[in-house]
Amino acid sequence: MNTDDLIAALAADATPQERPIGQALAWALAGGALLSLALFAALLGPRPDALGALRTLRFDLKFLEAAAWAAPSFLFCRALARPETEPSALLAWLLAPVALLGAGVVAELTLMPSDLWGVRLIGTNWWHCLTVIPLLSIAPLAALISALRSGAPRSPALTGALAGAASAGVAALMYASNCTDDSPLFVASWYPLATAIVVAAGALAGRRWLRW
């Protein structure tokens, strides 16, 4: 077999492997999310006025922000499961949720009297936020790390961190319906802190279990 034939054979073997890892990660995230949703429904559930709150922009912004964080984090994580992916190629997508949240904070600071800024920032559920989001992230993160073991990430810690970011985004989507603090100031302060806990856990898990 000459060199060209060998390369063609390797390419043929590699091509069908790209789809299974992507599908495995999607199923892992969906399965983990369903487990977390069951836990959320059993322990918390949406807040009583959730349907009415859907008519307010600040309440809706929490879901949009969580989705804008979860989606690119998952896609980035899925891409990094393959060793040929360059991390810098997708990093810019993570700026979208930051810009979205920044715009919400600016609007809040503009419209809200300055003497209420501190109250809005601290809110009433900051400890709840820092506890529930990491708790609801456990199942999706564990499922993603397990699925990623069948891949070959070149940056195990970064890939694990992004799995954590995606898991935290999914958890935030659930928690947002229960959280009574809708201010972008609160969301910009405590949601990222809760996410950082999960990201750190994902990075440690990735360094431990995704090395090859």
153 belongs to a structural domain: yes
Going by C-beta distance under 8 Å and a sequence separation of 6 or more, which residues neighbour residue 197?
130, 133, 134, 168
Name the pTM for this structure: 0.85
pLDDT at 137: 98
2 belongs to a structural domain: no
Give CA separation, 162 vs 94, 105, 151, 188, in Å: 10, 24, 15, 19
5 belongs to a structural domain: no
Query: What is the token pair recorded at 10?
Result: 């390797």
Range of the domain at 135: 19-209
pLDDT mean values, one per 10 residues, the chain (212 residues): 52 53 95 98 93 87 92 92 70 77 82 75 86 97 96 91 97 95 89 96 96 80
3-state helix, strand, coil in the chain (%, to 5): 80, 0, 20
70 belongs to a structural domain: yes
120 belongs to a structural domain: yes
pLDDT at 6: 47
pLDDT at 10: 46
4 belongs to a structural domain: no
pLDDT at 55: 84
8 belongs to a structural domain: no
Q: Count structural domains, the chain.
A: 1
In whole angstroms, what is the distance from residue 163 CA to residue 75 CA? Answer: 10
11 belongs to a structural domain: no
Of 77, 121, 74, 71, give the one whose Cα is nearest residue 96: 71
Query: What is the token pair recorded at 120?
Result: 């809005």
